[in-house]
């Protein structure tokens, strides 16, 4: 089990374009109460819990979390590769850092697909995240066609190599393996499929950045994760958490996913 390696599991909720700032405040409050009532352990024996609201909600979420000293983490769903300038509609990593975001999603498949984000752009976004002290949650994953043509690992590995090209040192990274065919489809990968790709991704991290980074980096699985299937993924050696879309919009369900250790044996 991944926890045996000492990595703190991370359960991350990608809210996509859902919840305005008032709804986000209500959700974060309720999530914090639910986890507190359940005596949730935010460390190695439990899970770190992070939410990724729309940009317009981040300031409200920051204010609530810091005022009430909640143990929840948060991040943005995207950032610009640029620091500032004439880039209408873009958000700088510097601005996200000022809102005390810990994380930022980079290269979610919806960004790759609907916004034409290329591997080269995502390499610049990973670099921009690290430059501003944000932990990039780099999303990689194959489509159903990729799976048929190249098998499960080829595309995620190529995306990982491209996004990390030229990187050195010991950066804090999170990798989210999200098979595109599993996102929002109700058809999750099997834990064995996900583990096979996660193990391959970890071996690429070892090759590119060395053992310290390969050991410390959390690799999440994403794609139709629910409270009823999370335990199976978390039993795998190379899966350290989940990136949750649809099920992160229901506070009871999301809290139950975060508390997977309570049902990991079932
Ligand atoms: P899903 O989305 O959990 O609704 O499949 C996952 C994601 O897009 O990150």
86-106 pLDDT tens trace: 999 999 999 999 999 999 999
> Which pTM does this prediction carry?
0.97
Q: Is 21 a catalytic residue?
A: no
Which are the contacts of 22, defined by CB distance < 8 A and separation ≥ 6? 60
Mean pLDDT of the chain: 96
Q: Which helix (H) or strand (E) holds 53?
A: none
| Cβ 58 vs Cβ 73: under 8 Å | no
Structure tokens at 212: 């310290």
Question: How many whole angstroms from 186 Cα to the centroid of ligand 1?
Answer: 9
CA atoms within 13 A on the CB side of 39: 2
State the residue for tokens 């991040």. Answer: 75
Closest CA to 161 of 133, 200, 192: 200
Ligand 1 is surrounded, with C-beta below 6 A, by: 14, 178, 183-184, 222-225, 243-247
| Cβ 35 vs Cβ 69: under 8 Å | no
Tens digit of each residue's pLDDT (9 = 90 or more) over 53-62: 999 999 999 9
Q: Which helix (H) or strand (E) holds 145?
A: helix 144-150
Cα distances (Å, whole numbers) of residue 58 to 20, 25, 50, 67: 10, 10, 12, 14
Among 177, 184, 247, name the best residue to mutate to test ligand 1's pocket (greatest count of ligand atoms within 8 A of Cβ): 184
Choosing from 117, 178, 195, 236, which is the catalytic residue? 178
State the residue for tokens 């909600």. Answer: 57
Displacement of CA 241 from its chain's centroid (Å): 8
pLDDT reading at 69 higher than 50: yes
Choosing from 40, 48, 73, 108, which is the catalytic residue? 108
Tens digit of each residue's pLDDT (9 = 90 or more) over 128-152: 999 999 999 999 999 999 999 999 9
Structure tokens at 230: 């999370």
pLDDT at residue 266, as a whole number: 44
pLDDT reading at 3 higher than 60: no
Q: Are strands 174-177 and 103-106 parallel, antiparallel or unpaired?
A: unpaired
| Cβ 3 vs Cβ 44: under 8 Å | yes
| Cβ 71 vs Cβ 42: under 8 Å | yes
Question: How many whole angstroms from 8 Cα to the centroid of ligand 1?
Answer: 21
Structure tokens at 116: 């034409």
pLDDT at residue 5, as a whole number: 74
DSSP three-state, residue 40: coil
Among 10, 14, 182, name the best residue to mutate to test ligand 1's pocket (greatest count of ligand atoms within 8 A of Cβ): 14
Q: Is 40 a catalytic residue?
A: no
């Amino acid at each position: 089990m991944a926890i045996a390696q000492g990595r703190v599991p991370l359960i991350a909720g990608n809210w996509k374009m859902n919840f305005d700032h008032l709804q986000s405040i209500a959700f974060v409050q309720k999530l914090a109460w639910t986890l507190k009532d359940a005596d949730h352990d935010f460390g190695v024996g439990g899970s770190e819990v992070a939410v990724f609201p729309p940009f317009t909600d981040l300031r409200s979420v920051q204010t609530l979390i810091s005022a009430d000293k909640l143990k929840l983490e948060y991040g943005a769903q995207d950032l610009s590769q640029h620091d500032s300038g004439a880039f209408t509609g873009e958000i700088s990593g510097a601005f996200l850092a000022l809102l005390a975001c810990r994380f930022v999603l980079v290269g979610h498949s919806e960004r790759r697909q609907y916004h034409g984000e290329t591997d080269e752009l995502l390499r610049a976004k990973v670099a921009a995240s690290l430059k501003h002290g944000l932990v990039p949650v780099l999303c990689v994953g194959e489509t159903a066609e990729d799976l048929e043509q190249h098998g499960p690992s080829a595309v995620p590995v190529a995306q990982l190599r491209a996004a990390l090209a030229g990187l050195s040192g010991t950066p804090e990274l999170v990798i989210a393996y999200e098979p595109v065919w599993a996102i929002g489809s109700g058809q999750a990968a099997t834990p064995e499929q996900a583990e096979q790709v996660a193990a391959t991704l970890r071996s690429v991290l070892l090759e590119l950045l060395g053992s310290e980074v390969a050991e410390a980096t959390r690799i999440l699985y994403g794609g139709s994760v629910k409270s009823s299937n999370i335990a199976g993924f978390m039993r795998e050696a190379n899966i350290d958490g989940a990136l949750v879309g649809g099920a992160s919009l229901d506070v009871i369900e999301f809290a139950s996913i975060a508390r997977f250790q309570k049902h990991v044996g079932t």
